[in-house]
Every structure is written in C-alpha cells, then in structure tokens.
Amino acid sequence: MELTFDALSKNYGKKQALIGFSAELTGGIYGLLGPNGAGKSTLMNILTGNLRQTAGEIRFNGAEIRSLGAAFRGRVGYMPQQQTLYPGFTAERFLLYMASLRRMPRARALERIDWALGAVGLSDVRGKTIRSLSGGMKQRLLLAQAILDEPDILILDEPTAGLDPRQRIAVRNLIAEIALQKIVIVSTHVVPDVEYVASELLLLSEGRLLRKASPAELTHELAGQVWEAELAESELPAAQAAGTVCGIARVDAGHIRVRLLAEKQPPFACRPLAPELEDVYLHYFGAEDGL
C-alpha cells in the first residue's frame, strides 16, 4: 500500500496554506504534527476530497485519487475534529446512518457496529442518545464510525481532544491495534498522542513539511542540546538568554529546576539530559512568547 503526496499546494486567496508538500506513506501510523495554522486540516481535507488542491496530486497505489473517485473514498475512514453529531440519534442509529452513507449492506453494518462499539468501549451506550453522552464518549463514537468499514487509510484529526488521561491512553492503544495493515494519519499538536505509536512523524509548519522521520531519529538528532540546571529564581532570565526553556519546576523557596534546549552548553552549572519529543517540537516550532 502506498499513498503519495506529490508537490501538493493549496492557496486560500493569497494565503498559502500548503506549499509543495511531498511525502510517501506506506503501512503504519504517521503523526502529522504542527502548531495551529500549520496546514494539517487543509492536507486532510484534500485527502478526504472535501477540498480541491491548487496544485500537485495525491496517488494511491500509483493512481490519482480523484480519478479513483468513490473507489478511493470507500477505502478512507475519517474522524473529524468537530463533534457535529446528531444529538437525537442513538449511538447505534448514528452508526447505521454512517454505514448507509457508505453503502454498507445492513447485515454487515450491524455486524461491524457490534465490533466497532466494542472496540471503542461503547457497547453499553448503544441505545443511548448522543446528547446524553459525555464529550469523551462522543469522541469515541466518532472513532467508531471512522473504523466501521475497515478502511485501508484512516485519518484521525486530534483523536484524543477532550479525553481524560485514561481515555487518551485507551484511544491511543486502540489506534495502535487497528493500525496493522493500514495507513493511519494522526493529525495533532499534542506530542504524547503520537509519541509512542507513530512509526514516523511529519513535522509541518506554515504549510511546509520540515521533516519526515521516526521519533527515535528526531530525538537522537537533539542529543547534546538538552540541559538541566538548578538555579536561583533570579537567574531565570540567564537561562532564557541561553536557549529555549522547555520546563520549569520549583525546587524550594527561591530555587527552580530548568529544562533547557540550547545548541551550546549554557554558561552555568548544568547537566545534559536525554532529548524527548517535546524538545523536538520546541526545536522545530519554537516556544510561545513569554518563555
């Protein structure tokens, strides 16, 4: 299985949301990581056929996806970010409706609904109306509809948004489980969503693909650039001047422990730390103002 993005660009008027995006995806989980406005939704909307690119093309196993039409769309499962569900529908009715849009035969739909509700841990609320479900349950219901028709390509937009830590872990594990023999694209700006499950990360910023590499490669490249120092609170500006502050913890009255990203060893007592993916994120995308 091969999904190829070839010099894909999208302009909204003068705004260039995607600029010459090229990448080749085979089986596995790909984390599409980038800050707000990086172009992640634009890329996914082109892939799902909701948006037309300005230039470039996407090919699935060598064939341009628009020319494949419904044959391609039928192989794609999409979990959108917005919970635009039908509040009066029961979970089962919603899934039956989604199955009918996908032209799944009813018997198969019922069988797959059993499976999908079980997979996302919602079998108990099958007959409950969507308006009575919690935000986390709605999120899992959206995931259930995305995996209903056994897609080859699964696109997940911020799949763990609004979930509590336990649910996040459960959803992440579920994604890893169902990813076998699929191309799964997880779009997020939340590093832990993709840290342990993605085989490769695509770092997107201002419409451009900055890097495509495994989490291990990306963290390895930062070796020797992450530091920890215990400082007096009054020394924080010195740390900020030496590099990007990734974390601050209070040690005791007047003292802090600082995690710092800096190419050169900072000019105060510090020790090197093993880089983590959040350091990579800050390295490529920078910190918010104020740090």
38 binds ligand ATP (CB under 6 A): yes
Contact call for residues 30 and 202 (beta carbons, < 8 A): yes
Q: Which stretch, 39-47, 87-95, 99-107, 268-276, contacts ligand ATP (CB under 6 A)?
A: 39-47
42 binds ligand ATP (CB under 6 A): yes
17 binds ligand ATP (CB under 6 A): yes
Which pair of structure tokens corresponds to residue 15?
A: 């705004």
Tell me the closest approach of the beta carbon of residue 187 to ligand ATP, in angstroms.
Answer: 7
138-197 positions binding ligand ATP, by CB under 6 A = 189
Contact call for residues 27 and 182 (beta carbons, < 8 A): yes
Q: Which stretch, 38-46, 131-139, 251-259, 275-283, contacts ligand ATP (CB under 6 A)?
A: 38-46
48 binds ligand ATP (CB under 6 A): no
The count of chain residues that interact with ligand ATP, using the rule CB under 6 A, is: 12
73 binds ligand ATP (CB under 6 A): no
Contact call for residues 21 and 56 (beta carbons, < 8 A): yes
Question: How far from 134 is each of 93, 130, 186, 277, CA to CA, in Å?
Answer: 17, 9, 22, 31
Q: Which stretch, 34-42, 62-70, 173-181, 247-255, contacts ligand ATP (CB under 6 A)?
A: 34-42
Residue with Cβ nearer ligand ATP (37 or 87): 37
CA nearest neighbour of 91 among 144, 128, 124: 128
Contact call for residues 52 and 12 (beta carbons, < 8 A): no
The interaxial angle of helices 135-147 and 91-101, nearest 10 deg, is 30
15 binds ligand ATP (CB under 6 A): yes
Which pair of structure tokens corresponds to residue 282?
A: 């800050």
Q: Which of 31, 39, 80, 159 binds ligand ATP (CB under 6 A)?
A: 39
Residue with Cβ nearer ligand ATP (34 or 151): 34
Residue with Cβ nearer ligand ATP (227 or 285): 285
Residue with Cβ nearer ligand ATP (9 or 225): 9
Question: How far from 142 is each of 63, 114, 161, CA to CA, in Å?
Answer: 29, 15, 12
Tell me the closest approach of the beta carbon of residue 14 to ligand ATP, in angstroms.
Answer: 9
- In angstroms, the CA 100 to CA 104 distance is 6
- Residues of this chain that interact with ligand ATP (CB under 6 A) are 12, 15, 17, 34, 36-42, 189
